[in-house]
Structure 1
Amino acid sequence: MTEPEAPAPHTAPPASPPIALPTLRPTPFDPPAELAGLRETRPIAPLAYPDGHQGWLVTSHALVRQVLADRRFSARSELRHLPVQQPGQGPAQPAPPGVFLSMDPPEHTRYRHLLTGEFTVRRMRRLTERIEAVTGEYLDAMERQGPPADLVETFAAPIPALVICELLGVADDDRERFLAEAAALMRPGNSHEEVVSAFLVMQAHMKELVRARRAEPSDDMLSGLTKSDLTDEELANIGFMLLGAGLDTTTNMLALGTFALLTHPDQLAVLRAAPDRAEQVVEELLRYLGIIPFLVRTALEDAEVGGELVRAGQTVTLSLPAANRDPGRFPDHPDALDLSRAAGGHLGFGHGVHQCLGQQLARVEMRAGYPALFARFPSLRLAVEPGEVPLRTDMAIYGVHSLPVTWDAG
């Protein structure tokens, strides 16, 4: 009996010069076309970074998951290089106390455990009821105002903003100032100096909020965290992080998701026919839209990924939109929006120890938002041509700057 043949050794493609990260989207909803070619021929490819660093770009679903789950790859902000020059970007610095998104265990574990304890079933149930009520209130206001409207301003931005205020215990008479400061921080085209100035204003407001919650606790997440051993600085930075993670992302999912549905009438018909399937609709939109263009990790030691040797100190850029369109994970027309698809396993909220802590809350906002919007306005449509909708191609979170819509007023 002959021995079975050993598998052929893996041979990496010939060395090639590093590329720049592709950023040009062919449509408002599709990632750069070059990413699909890379995913097919070289799912981990050499990448040139604007600061002269040479690292890697990963585009396949399996390899992105592998890196995100591997503790040899660090999320520490002072180690990473960014693949694009971002507005207001300064030199890499260690994460401030409390900003555990840019930390590794055990520091990350300590902070995350404290916050996980605040996402209680009771609080989630109360927030769900509040989100549903607020969604109705903003739709009422939109209906009273009459067409046309900017859906970002009237619907997509106010709902997650109010949820963040509830989480942080921002008093009703303080919310206008709080949200104006948040908007100033996230304003497109900010210079580095403007980002720093807006950050200092918001940081001072957060510290003021922490002191108020320590003095008079209420039934909110920030008040709950004041019972821990966290310092005022840590609490303020955690509040700041929750604002950044929960406001811009959900706003752009609500707006861009509505844009996608309005330009895919066959899929909008699926939602209208079965509004009770909002959970499946939300998962497919998260997979399809890819509002977070990339995550970055830095190798703490030499590690093999997809047949390539990633050296210690090299940064790996992980393309979430490319991974979520990978036919190896989603074989049935992955570039199509298909609301009947079982889109579980997408990487819209990341993977591994840094997977988004507030993902269930974001899902609640979207599950409430999409069906209610289209039920209230059956004739909702774009007020401009699709090509005239201003896209956030220059921002860390992709989406639309505004979404002009109209409808037949009753």
Structure 2
Amino acid sequence: MSSLKWALSRYDDIRTMLTDSRFSSDRRAPNYPRLLDGPALPAGARAPLINMDPPEHTVARRAVLGEFTVKRLAALRPRVQEIVDDHIDAMLAGPQPADLVQALSLPVPSLVICEMLGVPYTDHDYFQSQAKQLFSRTATQAERTRTHSELVGYLHALVETRAKDPADDLISRQLANTEDHEAVTALATVLLVAGHETTANMISLGTMTLLDHPEHLRTIRDDPAKTPAAVEELLRYFTIAEFGLSRVATADVEVGGVLIHAGEGVITLTNTANRDPRVFAQPDEIDIERSTRRHLAFGYGPHQCLGQNLARIELEIVFTTLFDKIPDIQPAVDTDTLPFKDDANIYGIHQFPVTWGAATPASA
């Protein structure tokens, strides 16, 4: 079997590949292009949803899809608003400068996904540190394996508890339809980790970008109806996560005029695709009024991100509320000096000090 690996960078080619059933998502397949050394999955681990192929993937995704319908997420909006309000108010009542990451970016999506799943938010420090280790490019394979095992064990214990004592949460509703506790644990692991880490990073990066581009911030302040479009453009511009979109060909397939043979791995460069000038005019510039809903930040095809609309709701509410409650918020340091997550598989900012009111930025 060939060990050759291909990289797709053109927007149309990636969309074509991600909808072709002749490309497998199974990380256990020979020559699946893994970005980190080590086994495809820890020993004994159940394959997560993002690494399943049909028909297994079709059944598993359908089982949880009802948790992310437009109607269910719309009903969640008031609670998301309450969570955002509470954390911004707490930040205003605290000392300056405040770290936006710890005060707002991390806790908002963490609390939302905890309440959806039924995970105790009091354990957020634990699972946030576990997620950081899992996505770290500097962690050793042994460290990642141990971290994954510990997190799975933590969630499996919670699944067993919910099986005996159901509650009004996603885990309990999944258990009502299946006796496969390992599958529910695997699903909960993916949703808990991805459900807070990605959105948290976009809150920080989006806030920084809007503060660095006051003309765009003014636009959404003057017309909040434009905030959803701004969110889409920020998602396109940063495309913070590219994991989970690699594939391996199970048959000979031609993509973009090139023949990819069975057994050859394929890596998708979605960040590059989201700046394809054939699709997005002046792609290296931020234009919050352009139509960018077709970006690939959430992937494409059967494996497109389940929680994408939840992320959109959280981002829209955060940006609208933050700049309304703290209209004079500003970075406390030059944003070029912020500690960016160049050491992680999900891009973001480690710390983001901000000030407001009479406080003087540290860079002044």
**TM-score where L is the length of structure 1:** 0.81
Cα offset, 1:310, TM superposition: 0.6
Distance in 1, matches of 2:166 and 2:123, equals: 21
> Secondary structure at the residue paired with 2:57?
helix
Aligned mates of 1:259, 1:358 — CA distance in 2: 23
Choose 1 or 2 for highest CA Rg: 1
Alignment of 1:391 onto 2:337: no
Report how far residue 195 of structure 1 moved: 2.0
Residue in 2 that maps onto 1:353: 302
Greater displacement, 210-219 / 184-193: 184-193
CA distance in 2: counterparts of 1:409 and 1:209, whole angstroms = 46
Could you tell me how far 1:368 is from its partner in structure 2? 0.5
Q: 2:18 corresponds to which residue?
A: 68
In the TM superposition, residue 116 of structure 1 has moved relative to its aligned partner by 0.6
Q: AA paired with 1:367?
A: E
**In the alignment, does 2:14 pair up with 1:54?**
no
> Displacement of 1:251 after TM fit?
0.8
**In the alignment, structure 1 residue 213 sits paired with structure 2 residue 162:** yes
Q: Report the counterpart of residue 105 of structure 1 in structure 2.
A: 54
Equivalence for 1:290: 239
* Matched AA of 2:39: P
Structure 1 consecutive aligned stretches of length 4 or more whose deviation exceeds 6 Å: none
Task: For CA contacts below 8 A with separation 6 or more, give which structure has more relative contact order.
Answer: 2
Q: Match of 1:304, SS?
A: strand
Q: 1:92 aligns with which of 32, 37, 40?
A: 40
Q: Which runs of 5+ in 1 are unaligned?
A: 1-51
Offset at 1:98?
5.7
For residues 396 and 341 of structure 1, the distance between their equivalents in structure 2, rounded to whole angstroms, comes to: 28
Counterpart residue number, 1:278 = 227
Query: 1:126: Cα distance to partner?
Result: 3.3
Structure 2 residue aligned with 1:375: 324
Q: What is the aligned partner in structure 2 of residue 315 from structure 1?
A: 265
Q: What CA RMSD, in Å, does the superposition of the two structures yield over aligned residues?
A: 2.0
Distance 1:314 1:121 in 2: 38
How is 1:163-312 mapped onto 2 (pairs within 5 angstroms)? 163-170=112-119, 174-187=120-133, 188=136, 189-293=138-242, 295-312=245-262
AA partner of residue 93 (structure 2): R
Q: Is the 8 A contact 2:5 2:33 kept in 1?
A: no
Q: Is contact 1:282–1:366 with CA below 8 Å preserved after alignment?
A: yes
Q: Which amino acid aligns with 2:320?
A: P
Deviations 1:221-247 (A, max 9, x none): 111101112411111111001112211
CA contact (8 A) 1:136 1:372 kept: yes
Question: Is the CA contact 2:116–2:170 (under 8 Å) kept in the aligned structure 1?
Answer: yes
Report how far residue 83 of structure 1 moved. 6.4
**Fraction of identical pairs, as percent:** 38
Q: 1:203 touches 1:237 (CA, 8 Å); kept in 2?
A: yes
Query: C-alpha distance in 2, partners of 1:139/1:212?
Result: 33
Kept in 1, the 8 Å contact 2:33–2:248? The answer is no
Q: How many residues align?
A: 352
User: Aligned partners of 1:388, 1:53: CA distance in 2, in Å?
Assistant: 40
Q: 2:77 aligns with which of 128, 151, 154?
A: 128
Q: Residue in 2 aligned with 1:338?
A: 287
Instruction: Give the secondary structure class of the aligned counterpart of 1:312.
Output: coil
Query: What SS class does the counterpart of residue 290 from structure 2 fall into?
Result: coil
- Distance in 2 (CA, whole Å) between partners of 1:302 and 1:129 is 50
Change (3 A) 1:408 1:392: same
User: How many Å apart are 1:93 and its aligned residue?
Assistant: 3.8
Q: CA deviation at 1:282?
A: 0.9
1:357, CA displacement in angstroms? 0.9
8 Å contact 1:161–1:179 — kept in the other structure?
no
2 CA distance for matches of 1:229 and 1:378?
Answer: 48
Give the whole-Å Cα distance in 2 for the aligned partners of 1:293 and 1:358. Answer: 16
